[in-house]
Structure 1
Amino acid sequence: MLTPGILLVDKPGGLTSHDVVARTRRAFGTRKVGHAGTLDPMATGLLVIGIEGATRLLTYIVGADKTYSATIRLGAATTTDDAEGEMLDRAADDAVAAITAERIAAGIADLTGPIAQVPSAVSAIKVDGKRAYDRVRAGEEVELAARQVTVSRFDVLARRDTDGFIDLDVIVDCSSGTYIRALARDLGAALGIGGHLTALRRTRVGEFDVADAVGIDALEGASTLTAAAAAARVMPVLHVSEQEARDLRHGKRLHGQSSRLTASEVAAIDPHGALIGVVETRGADIKSAMNMPEVQG
């Protein structure tokens, strides 16, 4: 029986996240595969893939903070806020040349910390049950509501002035739900010359790093993190006895044990190192919030 696990994949450009899931299904011989957090086809980098019962963990991974490296092109906006869209108004060369490092730094400072961000219209957000990007492609005008996100780091690593554009290589640490394309769009708008994204790479999801990921051509026989090891990277661990493990699996509470939990979501691991599931407090008790399949290989 296939052991549930978490697979880290370095997605290449040109593939959708669903393409990677489909290839993983073929490589591991199972339909039970999912991912934590979509990457656009243009983007590369870390996809966290759940296999078999470990797909249940993805709910607890998808909300983790993330790190991206990206290239922002200042001097023109596009219809998609990235290089795959049609170019809109291009700024005059003298307007681009007038953009100083100080003005860029001020614009970035305004986009750092807790901010209200309007997602890109060409996104997977659903509007009345239909993906926003499908509505845009059908010719509809889409206006998405601003959402609160946090950009904890937005650093410029390099600047290149070429052909009437300014290209900025940046690194961004941000909360889940932050759109790097929207940061490029909003920085360009604040500077009055437009902006869009030309490259994007996700290098980190929570405690998972792209340095540990396998390439798309190395899925066959790729090693996975056990569900327990993956859960321990996402949340605190509660070690439970054999009897407690049985009780939790059968939906029973651990009465009067809530003081053993140090967070709202905790991974319960049995004496054999298997993940029982995710537990939470209910009054003075501990109860299961999510149970893993009992047979883990």
Structure 2
Amino acid sequence: MNAPRARVARRPVHGVLLLDKPIGLSSNQALQKAKWLLRAEKAGHTGTLDPLATGVLPLCFGAATKFSQMHLDADKAYETTVRLGIKTSTADAEGDVLSERPVDVSQAKLDAVLQQFTGPIAQVPPMHSALKKDGKALYEYARAGIEVEREPRHVVIYALKQLPAPMDTAQPAIKLVVECSKGTYIRTLGEDIGEALGCGAHLSALRRIRTGGFDTSQCVSLEALEAMTEEQRLACLLPVEAMLPQHVSVTLDSENAARFLSGMRRRGAWADAEQVAVYATMPKALLGTAQVKAGELIPVRLLSPQEISETLGQQQALEQSLKQSNETLALGA
């Protein structure tokens, strides 16, 4: 019998953790593990990865959760292995085998098919997905053996590149890098490519290598997090404003910052902008997001004074801890 997990004292934690999600865990399971390691009070993710998928999973803590929805619209990039000749019930390696067909695919035919799936395409969402119909996720219908009608979704495949890999005749597969818009189902893409090649296919591996401006080089694994001290874990967090890379920056003095935080519009010589990140000057702190229309700064999503105070306190505590560590190292040198 497993011993019960020790209760931990939760605390306010604010920022963005770029997690390299391991295979076998759902996005929520990975989130809960990271939340426990950070002892965070509030956390959320920015869109799910299948349990069989690995790679970039941005996790939002505290104030950053207010902006997590914005990242759902981000473009994505994946590395995937498409196993040819076998079609499964889930379009990946977890499903039951539905059919097996011989594979006779030339490079010229593959190049033509990949070109066919580059650009704007329509996809029918897979039954084994979290997309909802009449309040229920499609995978719930699928588990009950019910097939429901799904409307095609329009997505964009910006680039579809084949990676060099030896073709195993016993288990023929192709490796691809897919750069795509939000809402793209890579399992469906792999299955559709297999059908266009005339042999069927399913995904045997999937790794998200980029979402928005975040990529795998910035990520940390759960295993690495577990080996860290609490200060080191906090140091892995990006600031809340990392969720707002495309936002125009506007900085307000203390008087206008206070009025803005109370929900009041401010006037200034600002150009019109749909996405604005608003900061206070002293101390430098993110206040929230806004729009600018006809010289008027209109609040959209505001942080609370408590969130701002906790974010500043977290940063100051981390800087002090790192300073003490550096001084200790210098004395021991």
Establish whether TM, by shorter chain, passes 0.5.
yes
User: Equivalents in 1 of 2:154, 2:119: separation in Å?
Assistant: 10
Contact 2:15 2:60 in 1 (8 A): yes
| Distance across 2 between alignment mates of 1:34 and 1:18 | 8
Aligned to 2:17: 7
* Residue 63 of structure 2 is aligned to residue 53 of structure 1: yes
Q: Does 1:21 align with 2:27?
A: no
The equivalences for 1:142-181 within 5 A come to 142-181=148-187
How far off its partner does 1:164 sit?
4.7
> Partner of 2:221 in structure 1?
215
Shifted more, 45-54 versus 231-240: the winner is 231-240
* Unaligned 5+ runs, structure 1: none
Q: CA deviation at 1:291?
A: 0.7
Alignment match, 2:326: none
Secondary structure of 1:225 counterpart = coil
Secondary structure at the aligned position of 1:40 is classed as: coil
Matches within 5 A, 1:89-104: 89-92=99-102, 96-97=103-104, 99-104=105-110
**In the alignment, which residue of structure 2 is the partner of 1:266?**
276
Check conservation: 2:155, 2:184, Cα contact below 8 A: yes
Given that 1:90 and 1:194 are in contact with CA atoms closer than 8 Å, whether structure 2 keeps it comes out as: yes
Q: Distance in 1 between matches of 2:78 and 2:251?
A: 34
Q: Provide closer, same or farther for how the CA distance between residues 284 and 234 of structure 1 changes in structure 2, counting only shifts above 3 A.
A: closer
> Does structure 2 conserve the Cα–Cα contact (< 8 Å) formed by 1:42 and 1:199?
yes
Conserved 8 A contact 1:8-1:48: yes
The Cα shift of 1:10 comes to 0.5
Residue 18 of structure 2 contacts residue 218 of structure 2 at CA under 8 Å; is this kept in 1? yes
Residue 159 of structure 1 contacts residue 166 of structure 1 at CA under 8 Å; is this kept in 2? no
Matched ranges for 1:270-285 at <5 A: 270-271=280-281, 272-282=283-293, 284-285=295-296
Number of residue pairs aligned between Structure 1 and Structure 2: 290
Flag the 1:47–1:234 CA change in 2: closer, same or farther, 3 A: farther
2:304 equivalent to 1:293: yes
Decide which of 203, 209, 216 is 1:203's aligned counterpart. Answer: 209
Q: Distance in 2 between matches of 1:59 and 1:67?
A: 19
Within the alignment, does 1:252 sit opposite 2:258 as a pair? Answer: no
**Alpha-carbon deviation of 1:287?**
0.8
CA contact (8 A) 2:64 2:243 kept: no
Specify the SS of the correspondent of 2:173.
Answer: strand
Q: Distance in 2 between matches of 1:200 and 1:208?
A: 17
Query: Partner letter of residue 251 of structure 2?
Result: H
Which of 202, 227, 233 does residue 240 from structure 2 map onto? 227
Report the residue type matching 1:231 in the other structure. M
Q: Equivalent of 1:68, from 78, 84, 98?
A: 78
- Deviation track 1:208-254 (CA, whole Å, cap 9, x = no partner) reads 112111111233532201112x1342433222322232122110011
Partner of 1:87: 97
Once the two structures are superposed, residues 89-111 of structure 1 have per-residue CA deviations (whole angstroms, 9 ceiling, x without a partner) of: 1112xxx12x1111111111111
In the alignment, which residue of structure 2 is the partner of 1:125?
A: 131
Moved beyond 6 Å, runs of 4+: none
Counterpart among 231, 236, 251 of residue 239 in structure 1: 251
Change (3 A) 1:142 1:136: same
Cα distance in 2, alignment partners of residues 260 and 270 from structure 1:
19
- Bigger drift between 172-181 and 142-151 goes to 142-151
236-245 or 128-137: bigger deviation: 236-245
Query: Which of the pair has the greater relative contact order for Cα pairs under 8 Å at 6+ separation?
Result: 1
1:116–1:146: 8 Å Cα contact kept in structure 2? Answer: yes
Q: Summarize deviations over 1:278-297 as a string: whole Å, max 9, x none.
A: 11135552211111222332
Question: How many angstroms apart in 2 are the aligned matches of 1:234 and 1:282?
Answer: 17
CA distance in 2, matches of 1:114, 1:243: 48
Check conservation: 2:271, 2:295, Cα contact below 8 A: no
Larger Rg: 2
